Amino acid sequence: MKKKHRVIYFISVLVFLFIALYITTQIFQVKYSYLMKGNNTIELKVDSNNNVIVPDATDIAKFNYKLGTLYWVLSIALTLAIPLYLIVSGSATELKLWLKDHFRRNNLIIILYIFSIFTFLFLTSLPLSFFRGYYKMKLIGISNESLFSWIIRVFKSFLINSITTTFIGFLCYKILNKAKKCAYLIIGLLTLPLYIMGTLIYPLYIDPVFNEFKPLENKILEYKIKDLANRADIKDLTLYEVDKSKETKAMNAYMTGVGNTKRIVLWDNTIKGLSEGETLVVAAHEMGHYKLKHIPKSIFMGALYSIFLLYLTEKFSRAFINKKGNKLKIYSIKDLAAIPIIILYFSLFSLLLTPISNGYTRYQEWQADKFAIELTEDNFSNATVEVKFLQNNISVPNVNGFIKFFRYDHPTPKERIEFSNGYNKFNKIP
């Protein structure tokens, strides 16, 4: 195909994907229109023992859950189909030959190849990102973001991710070329320093690209959270509130950083929407992650996980090339054109292994909940905060087992409310 034809063809594919997703979403909206009408107010109900009753899912939350699941299935199909298309259509090889014709320096060719593949995957995922990250959020009424600011956010993340992915991809490619065997082991171990660098760099340099981080406005709340931190023996903790309300109505909080960069970040929606007791419970949960050393443990487990994932990827990629390589003119795993094969198997095994990583983080989240109840002695707020999250994040309290294993890195709200009701009841009534 001529270069000009190829561009027209590619644009047509993007337009086709967009229209197909639009039609699918419209059919879905018509089919489930009866769920879209109700409001999402959840009434807090408590039984005679001061236990919070797990609420029923609201209609709009059911709608959000169903549409979210549909987009999730479509995203899996696309993640696997796009690299497969690059391999089978011969585009992976053509791109390599074109770059070799136009550029001399080998390293530059590798960098441009990886960057082009990343850009291709990014562009083909863009229509679904739009429906998933923008359209759906507007539809269920959780988004505060304008289309323009969504585009700016996507563009910024493209810049950051394309640079980091190209850099890491280049490094992995070099290792794969030099190492005779066990490239997976070297690359897997390399995730350790990469993760550590990420934890050091992200909160200080990347997060502020997207949002504004300010000290907590409510000084009484700040005092009470720091008092809680003192009781948990956490020194030099900084508290920030971040302007997430410009994007979403959803609530969240997280803890990140190490040493004197360690911080608890509360989304401004969280501070506005929760009672003081609930905010303290959320902060205590984050302190739990820190005290129970969840970040270093996750980094270590993450490296083991990566080694296993990369082992499977390398083994299956090699087997695929041995079997089908001649036909596709891809003769070795060291061939640049083999990169989409590696991406395909990497995506496939990442998906198949998600229940393991999700199970691990669900366990850590459960531990942090337990820690929060013990530190605050406030079972009640720990349960009511889940009800507020349900309402604000328009989510359902309970999901089926398959979805839980593949998509939930936190226990379900139902499990968290029931745990808060039952665990070591302190009977503190706020």
Gap between the Cα atoms of 243 and 248, Å rounded: 10
CA distance 137 to 91: 35
Residue 411 beta carbon to Zn ion: minimum distance, rounded to whole angstroms: 10
User: Nearest distance from residue 289's CB to Zn ion, in Å?
Assistant: 6
CB of 285 to Zn ion, least distance (A): 5
Q: How far is the CB of 69 from Zn ion (least distance, A)?
A: 23
Q: How far apart are CA 40 and CA 57, in angstroms?
A: 9
Per-residue tokens: 161: 């991710």
Shortest separation between residue 228's beta carbon and Zn ion, angstroms: 16
d(CA 292, CA 114): 38
Rounded to a whole number of angstroms, the CA Rg of the chain reads: 24
340 vs 131: CA distance, rounded Å = 25
Distance separating alpha carbons of residues 48 and 288, to the nearest angstrom: 30
Is 22 or 408 the residue whose CB approaches Zn ion more closely?
Answer: 408
Give the residue with the Cβ less far from Zn ion, 274 or 368: 368
Least Å distance between CB 266 and Zn ion? 13
Count other Cβ atoms within 10 Å, centred on residue 202.
12
- Identify which of residues 268 and 365 has a Cβ nearer to Zn ion in the complex: 365
Joined tokens for residue 201: 């760099």
Q: In this complex, which beta carbon is closest to Zn ion, that of residue 314 or of residue 365?
A: 365
Our measurement of the distance from residue 92's CA atom to the centroid of its chain's CA atoms, rounded to an integer in Å, reads 28
- Closer CB to Zn ion, 187 or 368, in the complex: 368
Q: How far apart are CA 157 and CA 163, in angstroms?
A: 10
Nearer to Zn ion, 136 or 294 (CB): 294
Whose Cβ is closer to Zn ion: residue 295's or residue 394's? 295
Please name the residues in contact with 208: beta carbons below 8 A apart, sequence gap of 6 or more: none
Q: Which of residues 368-427 bind Zn ion (CB under 5 A)?
A: 368
Query: Of the two residues 247 and 365, which places its CB atom closer to Zn ion in the complex?
Result: 365
Quick one: 35 or 251, whose CB is closer to Zn ion?
251
Using the minimum distance from each CB to Zn ion, give the nearer residue, 93 or 256.
256
In angstroms, give the least distance from the CB of 242 to Zn ion: 16
Least distance CB 334 / Zn ion (angstroms)? 41
Pair type for strands 253-256 and 263-267: antiparallel
Q: How far apart are CA 420 and CA 376, in angstroms?
A: 12
Q: How far is the CB of 357 from Zn ion (least distance, A)?
A: 15
Question: What residues from 98 to 137 belong to the interface with Zn ion (CB under 5 A)?
Answer: none
Total number of residues that touch Zn ion (CB under 5 A): 2
CB of 367 to Zn ion, least distance (A): 9
- Candidates 343, 300, 345; CA nearest to 319 is 345
Measuring CA to CA, which residue among 321, 350, 348, 322 is closest to residue 92? Answer: 321
Binding mask 358-377 for Zn ion (x = CB under 5 A): -------x--x---------
- DSSP string covering 152-197: HHHHHHHHHHHHHHHHHHHHHHHHHHH-SS-HHHHHHHHHHHHHHH
Q: x-or-dash pattern for Zn ion, window 316-355, by CB under 5 A?
A: ----------------------------------------
Q: How many CB atoms lie within 10 A of CB 203?
A: 22
- The length of the chain is 430
Q: Which residues of this protein are in contact with Zn ion, per CB under 5 A?
A: 365, 368
